[in-house]
Amino acid sequence: MAGSISTVDLFCGAGGLTHGFEQAGLPVKAGYDIDPACKFPYEHNNNAKFILQDVEDVSGSDLAEHFCGSRIKVLAGCAPCQPFSSYSRRYDDRESKWKLLQDFARLAYECEPEIISMENVLQLKHHPVFQEFIEKLENLNYFLESYEVNCLDYGIPQSRKRLVLLASKFGKINLIPPTHDAKRYETVRKTIEHLEPLCAGQTSKTDRFHQCSRLSALNLRRIRASKPGGTWRDWSKDLIAECHTKKSGKTYPGVYGRMEWDRPSPTITTQCFGFGNGRFGHPEQDRAISLREAALLQTFPADYEFVAPAEPVMFSRVGRLIGNAVPVKLGMIIAQSILAHIQ
């Protein structure tokens, strides 16, 4: 059956969604993204072609070339979610950023794939641009269903909730039932405890992505004063940042925190390599989590490569690739749901 299906991944990033699709047996022909840093990890780790192009400039005829010869066309993707987050909406850059979802709908109209999958932040469902997206697909006679997915319910070891929209010309697509309950949630311990210990600023000799950022003398004191699951409120006054003594800063207790071994991690973001950027402190070692640990928490395989061997590993670049990715296992869940629907 796989030979009769083709998938195109819009906003493909480093390939989290594509890798999950391929692991589930749903073939992907190509991925589109505007970030050139995505080309190496996308093509090196996946059996798909990377195309450096703004989705705004992609046409239905471009996609038709990838779908040629396939009985069932699948259009998938995750429009960059920052425009729809609670934080970003304060800046209201809707004209330039929210058009991404409109271009997704335009491409669906131009090539009418049999199946569409769109993943994004939960906040999107409360915005008019999402309702417009729904209406356009309904006008094309798609059967639609949207799901609020708790990633913990599907074996992803981080607190991450996502909106998954599934549309089909054949009928309603049911998301496969949860694979984990609260007693069986994956944990930080099970995911990263086996990796070799590191000091702040150190790199593993066997895995160059298992490296962590340096800590200033002050932040080293802070992490030593931190306990798993605790906050900066546990520190002595001389360690507390000035911004947290102000009224606006008192509502952010999660920054400068350690993860807990026997609980899932917080949502992995593009700044997950920084101790001060969230609860990204290692549960036990005096450092922030490494890039490889962040990738494992995003359910990337342990050998997933993000940068070509001849290129340096830059925290900002690799952190962006990891944090922006769809968790691989969530991609698998979506693909398995699509395949069960087709069967």
How far is Cα 145 from Cα 165, in angstroms, rounded to an integer?
A: 6
**Residue written as token pair 């991690």:** 265
Strands (E) located in 20-171: 28-33, 49-52, 72-77, 115-121, 143-150, 161-168
Helices (H) and strands (E) in the chain — how many of each?
11, 7
- C-alpha closest to that of 63 among 30, 16, 105: 30
How far is Cα 48 from Cα 301, in angstroms, rounded to an integer?
A: 17
**Residue written as token pair 């990891």:** 322
**Relative orientation angle of helices 99-111 and 128-139, to the nearest 10 degrees:** 0
260 class by beta-carbon count within 10 Å (0-12 exposed, 13-18 middle, 19+ buried): middle
Say which of 78, 81, 212, 272 is annotated catalytic: 81
Exposure on the CB side of residue 34, measured as CA atoms within 13 A: 8
Q: Is there a contact between 112 and 140 (Cβ–Cβ < 8 Å)?
A: yes
Decide the pairing of beta strands 28-33 and 49-52: parallel
81 part of the active site: yes
Q: Which residues are catalytic?
A: 81
